Amino acid sequence: MAVPERPGAESIRVHGWWYAHRYLILRRASQLLVLALFLLGPWFGVWLVKGNLASSLTLDVLPLSDPLVLLQVFASGSVPATAALIGGVIVLVFYLLVGGRVYCSWVCPINIVTDAAEWLRRRLGIKGGAHLSDKTRYWLLGGILLVAAISGSVAWELINPVSMVFRGLVFGMGLAWGVVAAVFLLDLFVGRRAWCGHLCPVGAFYGLLGEGAVLRVSAVDREQCDDCMDCFAVCPEHQVIRPALKGADKGLGPVITSGHCTNCGRCIDVCGRDVFVFTTRFNKEPRRAVAGANPKSEVSS
């Protein structure tokens, strides 16, 4: 099966460029907005949000903390104070609902780097690379918790590119640009989606959180699929699409239930036939409930 070099061409023709990039644009806006909120303080003296993604305080009332970092604190044998715990629970509940890896595609700054690497990789036609198991991330997740437990220190945060880059942008990069470059080159040459899809233990953790998420992408109109492979080409975790899109014979529902799905919505963007929509995991109807929910596609088809 050939993967298209420029996926989404049909969608652009049918829907127009903006509509065929709507979730991508929204995601970039979301990622930049989160960053901007943190930078308003240090750059312009408007302190809406203080801290960084590890832990923050919004408007001096709302604490938010990264549950994975707190898990490392627990593993290292300490108990964080109440403020951090409350913040951690709020974040935990949020991602349990919307899907853990929403963090990856809508918040994480590294996502922009790896998306850029993936785009360039496709355009340059770079194929193959090292064979990495996508289970490696779970081993790494276990590994970092083990190191925290043995060393009694939040050790992973010494090298975690995800927190390092965001903290760097907000507080000062130092040599962290080198880490950004390393992740970019890793994804460009070593393997497709090598970091986010195979190695990143942060993503692995949020993936586990997202196993039961309410907000999901669903291939509601999967009978419309013409096997153009565009969604497979753009999906950062393309193994999650097949069961939902092609699983009708095996009696599988159209909802993408895997926790690995980042809810990035790129499959919805690039599909010229409007197969995919955002819905809840409980909506198991294979067809759209309301015909003509997407008037634009009707006009163009």
The position carrying tokens 């942008």 is 169
Is residue 159 a contact point for another protein (CB under 8 A)? Answer: yes
C-alpha distances (whole Å) from 176 to each of 30, 132, 167 are: 23, 25, 10
Contact residue for another protein among 34, 73, 110, 270 (CB under 8 A): 73
Tokens representing 36 are 């901007």
Shortest reach from residue 27's CB to another protein, in Å: 24
Give the containing element (helix H, strand E) for 27.
helix 22-44
Q: Scan residues 42-61 and list those touching another protein (CB under 8 A).
A: 47, 50-52, 54-57
Contact residue for another protein among 77, 223, 278, 298 (CB under 8 A): 77
Site string for another protein, 118-147 (x = CB under 8 A): -------------x-x-xx--xx-xxx-xx
75-79, long-range: CB within 8 Å, 24+ apart, which pairs? 75/145, 75/146, 75/148, 75/149, 76/148, 76/149, 76/151, 76/152, 76/153, 76/154, 76/155, 77/149, 77/152
Taking residue 64's Cβ as centre, other Cβ atoms within 10 Å add up to 19
Shortest reach from residue 121's CB to another protein, in Å: 22
Q: Which is nearer to another protein, 49 or 117 (CB)?
A: 49
Report residue 242 CA to chain centroid gap.
18
Whether the CB-CB separation of 205 and 113 falls below 8 Å is answered with no
Q: Which is nearer to another protein, 124 or 159 (CB)?
A: 159
d(CA 108, CA 163): 9
C-alpha distances (whole Å) from 159 to each of 6, 155, 175 are: 34, 8, 12
Shortest reach from residue 151's CB to another protein, in Å: 5
| N residues, the chain | 301
Shortest reach from residue 102's CB to another protein, in Å: 21
Site string for another protein, 178-217 (x = CB under 8 A): xx--------------------------------------
| Local structure of residue 51 (DSSP, 8 states) | E
Stretch that binds another protein, among 11-19, 77-85, 243-251, 286-294 (CB under 8 A): 77-85
Rama region for 128: left / alpha / beta (φ>0; ψ in -120 to 50; rest)? left
Is residue 259 a contact point for another protein (CB under 8 A)? Answer: no
Is residue 272 a contact point for another protein (CB under 8 A)? Answer: no
Shortest reach from residue 117's CB to another protein, in Å: 20
Binding footprint of another protein on the chain (CB under 8 A)? 41, 47, 50-52, 54-57, 63, 65-66, 69-70, 73, 76-81, 83-84, 87, 131, 133, 135-136, 139-140, 142-144, 146-147, 150-159, 163-164, 167-168, 170-176, 178-179
